[in-house]
Structure 1
Amino acid sequence: MYPLLMTLGIVLFAAAILASIGLHELGHMIPAKAFGGKVTQYFIGFGPTVWSTQRGETEYGIKAIPLGGYVKIVGMLPPEAADLAEEVTVDAAGNTVTKIRKSNTGMFTQLISDARAAEWELIGPEDSDRLFYKLPWWKKVIVMAGGPTVNLLIAFFVFWAMFATYGNPSRDATEPDAGVPVLASVSDCVIPYEEGRLTCNDDDPVSPAVLAGLEAGDTITTFNGVPVTDWDQFRTLIRSNGDGEVVLGYERDGVALSGTTNTTVELRPNGPDDETLTAVGFLGVTPTSHQQTGGPIYTLTQMRQMTIDTAQALVHLPVKVWGVAKAIVGAQERDPESPVSIVGGSRISGEIVAEESFNLTEKIVFFGGLIAGFNFFIGMFNFIPLLPLDGGHIASALWEAVRRGFARLRGRPDPGHVDPAKLLPIAYVVASGLLVLSVVLIVGDLVVPLHISG
């Protein structure tokens, strides 16, 4: 039964991601057509075409590699009048065809020329008023922002549904109103944080929490006689205790108990948003999450923090992926907080659906959170202001608005449209980097996969 449920989870995840990709591309195509642009292709996937159909001037289809999608909007790159010669010819069917030709030297110069030529190969005079680069800057922004915005909206509505019904399963138990700390787990040993290990070695010391007799499910009531009211207070008391003695009061199955131990001094991060390591008191316990329900405003506040966390994660993404690469070759264990690819997400989805300890509601919530999380990250990632990402095109459109605005204010001639083709060398470098990151994560998810059980 487990293999069947595992397969079902993988299929459900793949279907949800493909649906998200399709909606992302609709977010580009619908406003592009609404503004009069010409969209010739709408495809989910890359590589060889599996299926396609022509509807009007747009070809809709599916390609073999389901790792993305695209829409072809005509006229993304403008002609460069100073460098390009326009040649109008008539093909065998009597159709007028506009081609761009150029003689170049230099690798990047030739790449730009080839990209521009490919862009204009099938553009005819009748398309002159429908070219994307001629749209007002704000229309360009709407078209290019439409895709990632759809991903963020998917994340918002899925999170809202979860928070409004089940509650927030990942709510930080250190929040002041989270209530008295109930232990989710007790560490068997003390593992140096910088080693990133998940399992104990024979030479690792027993954790102070085990020596105190604590177990998962215990409710902490006092710390050296001080009543404990929430996890944040409890954490502060532990960290400030150094290697001193501590008498812990706790309840287990309604029975009041106590235990004595000594906290140990370990290097630990200052907090969830600060990875700086500081020598502090360490006990070896993890709190249970405190679920809170909420509506759209609560969802927005949670997504605001997610935005901050995701921005920080994007900054550290290359380092995290490098850690995955080292885990692949056995240089270290894989960090459980490391990023995963779609392959890793599908595995986790399969494990969620197949896990016997989860009831149906928990499976739906965890699966929904996984899909919402992927969509949120995809949306945020695509807003990075670098080509070939959507954010790069948005940045170009905004720069065009600024440049033309300054020209008007100073009474100078209109500088014209911004030419994204000049940034193609950057786009190629970024695309190459993204390809490397993707390959490392996919290989990592196959060789050293993450599991929901840790």
Structure 2
Amino acid sequence: MTTLMMILGVVIFAVGLLFSIAWHELGHLSTAKLFGIRVPQYMVGFGPTVFSRKKGETEYGVKAIPLGGYIRMIGMFPPGADGRIESRSTSPFRSMVEDARAAAFEELQPGDETRLFYTRKPWKRVIVMFAGPFMNLILAIGLFLTVLMGFGVTQQTNVVSSVSSCVIQASAHRDSCKASDPQSPAKAAGLQPKDKIVSFNGVATDEWNALSDEIRKSAGDTVPIVVQRDGQQQTLTAKIATNQVPKKDASGQITDGYVNAGFLGFTAATGVVRQDFGSSVTWMSDRVGDAVDSIIALPAKIPALWDAAFGDGPREQDSPMGVVGAARVGGEIFTMDIPATQQLAMALMLVAGFNLSLFLFNMLPLLPLDGGHIAGALWEALRRNLAKVFRRPDPGPFDVAKLMPVAYVVAGVFVCFTILVLIADVVNPVKIS
């Protein structure tokens, strides 16, 4: 049964992955057709074609390797300075440029002169290239909102799980009390497991972070605490101690380090809580910030990733993870001893996170990513507008093909990184349980 559920999780993630890729390319396809650019191919995957069908002027199909997708647009790059589409050079770098330029004019047909990508105004090209990542962002937002507002997320609540017997500094890293440890305020006040804290020091709240903040800023104060116990409300009184507790960031998440703050002395129970729209937006903005930080930190994580793949180093929980690793996590989710609704919610979160990463990654201003083409179109617009201001001749289209040697280097780095992550995902995978 466990193996079957593991396979089910992998299949669900694979379907989500393929849909995400197809959805991304649909953004490029729809906007390209909107602006009259001819698109001979729309493909999900790479390698040999498994299935295809031509409808109108576009061939739609699925290829064997589901690690990406593409649409083929006519005239991605302008002709060379001599106006010729094809030429050859003994320079390997020049050949890269010319090969890319020649590929941009494959399947050129009579009448396509007015339907070339590079002939469209820069703002139209920006829309076409941005539409793909934007579709991933829309899908991520939709899935996040579905989970946050529909299923709910597991978080700490205002219900008491356990009461500490004494006051222990967080940096002590121990659970047992010593004779010299003072009694905790929660114990002295008579707080009990399963009590639900309704208000603290006159502030009514049903949200854990707000309650935690109130406790932390009440060090040394004697405060009333209203709890709901066995269906009835009771008022307890506690003198809040000052203790060393873990730091929290702006979003309420525990972070590295400690601070001296108010301490009541109980462990909050966790539960599945549906979020309102405002809380969902805040949660998603925090995740975007986390994702941006992760992309910036990628180079610094490569040594540890290498050690995890080829050495005896541990695989960190925040280690970069590829498609294979994500599929494995997707399978592991469905083997966890949690309700089926939460299994589905976690799987949707995984696909949503994948789409958010696709959006941010593709927006990097590097060829061959979408962001590289966007940067090229914006640079062209800037050059042409400056030429108008200074009454200079129109410089013409910016030749993005000249950056292809850089694109090959970037692509080579991405391929090497992908292989390293793949090896790590196989020999030392990230585990969530």
Q: Answer whether TM exceeds 0.5 for this pair.
A: yes
Q: CA deviation at 1:206?
A: 4.8
**What's the secondary structure of 1:51's corresponding residue?**
strand
Q: CA deviation at 1:396?
A: 1.1
In structure 2, distance between residues paired with 1:273 and 1:442: 34
- 1:292-441 mapped onto 2 (5 Å cutoff): 292-295=274-277, 298-355=279-336, 357-441=337-421
In the alignment, which of 405, 424, 430 is matched to residue 450 of structure 1?
Answer: 430
In the alignment, which of 103, 128, 131 is matched to residue 89 of structure 2?
Answer: 103
Asked if 1 retains the 8 angstrom alpha-carbon contact of 2:136 and 2:359, the reply is yes
Asked if 2 retains the 8 angstrom alpha-carbon contact of 1:156 and 1:299, the reply is no
In structure 2, distance between residues paired with 1:386 and 1:400: 16
Q: Percent of pairs identical after alignment?
A: 38
- 1:1-20 mapped onto 2 (5 Å cutoff): 1-20=1-20
Equivalent position amino acid for 1:293 in 2? Q
Equivalent position amino acid for 2:358 in 1? I
Equivalent position amino acid for 2:419 in 1? V
In structure 2, distance between residues paired with 1:80 and 1:13: 44
Q: Which deviates more from structure 2 when the two are superposed, residues 110-119 or residues 36-45?
A: 110-119
**What's the secondary structure of 2:273's corresponding residue?**
coil
In structure 2, distance between residues paired with 1:369 and 1:412: 52
Q: 1:411-430 deviations in whole A, cap 9, x for unaligned?
A: 11111111111211221121
Q: CA deviation at 1:304?
A: 2.4
Q: CA deviation at 1:341?
A: 1.0
Q: CA deviation at 1:122?
A: 3.5
In structure 2, distance between residues paired with 1:361 and 1:108: 54
In structure 1, distance between residues paired with 2:245 and 2:146: 42
Instruction: Say whether residues 1:76 and 2:76 are aligned partners.
Output: yes
CA-based RMSD:
4.3
Asked if 2 retains the 8 angstrom alpha-carbon contact of 1:77 and 1:419, the reply is yes
Equivalent position amino acid for 2:87 in 1? R
In structure 2, distance between residues paired with 1:47 and 1:350: 26
**What's the secondary structure of 2:67's corresponding residue?**
strand
Equivalent position amino acid for 1:369 in 2? M
Equivalent position amino acid for 1:424 in 2? M
Distance 1:354 1:278, change over 3 A: closer
Distance 1:434 1:51, change over 3 A: same
Q: 1:195-219 deviations in whole A, cap 9, x for unaligned?
A: xxxxxxxxx97567899999xx898
In structure 2, distance between residues paired with 1:44 and 1:182: 50
Q: 1:9-68 deviations in whole A, cap 9, x for unaligned?
A: 111110111011011111101110121111111111111222222222222211111111
- Structure 2 runs not aligned, ≥5 long: 165-170, 188-192, 198-202, 220-226, 231-235
Distance 1:220 1:434, change over 3 A: farther
Asked if 2 retains the 8 angstrom alpha-carbon contact of 1:180 and 1:231, the reply is no
Q: 1:80-138 deviations in whole A, cap 9, x for unaligned?
A: 21xx462xxxxxxxxxxxx5113342x32221122212323432452111110000111
Instruction: Say whether residues 1:144 and 2:129 are aligned partners.
Output: yes
- Structure 1 runs not aligned, ≥5 long: 87-98, 174-178, 187-192, 194-203, 222-226, 242-250
Q: 1:288-314 deviations in whole A, cap 9, x for unaligned?
A: 47734223x544333322222221111
**What's the secondary structure of 2:111's corresponding residue?**
helix
Equivalent position amino acid for 1:154 in 2? L
Asked if 1 retains the 8 angstrom alpha-carbon contact of 2:31 and 2:128, the reply is yes
Asked if 2 retains the 8 angstrom alpha-carbon contact of 1:43 and 1:62, the reply is yes
Distance 1:218 1:428, change over 3 A: farther
The aligned residue for residue 246 of structure 1 is none
In structure 2, distance between residues paired with 1:359 and 1:147: 35
**What's the secondary structure of 1:101's corresponding residue?**
coil
Q: CA deviation at 1:149?
A: 0.7
Equivalent position amino acid for 1:404 in 2? R
Asked if 1 retains the 8 angstrom alpha-carbon contact of 2:74 and 2:106, the reply is no
Q: CA deviation at 1:370?
A: 1.0
In the alignment, which of 78, 103, 106 is matched to residue 118 of structure 1?
Answer: 103
Asked if 1 retains the 8 angstrom alpha-carbon contact of 2:6 and 2:334, the reply is yes
**What's the secondary structure of 2:334's corresponding residue?**
helix
In structure 2, distance between residues paired with 1:441 and 1:330: 14
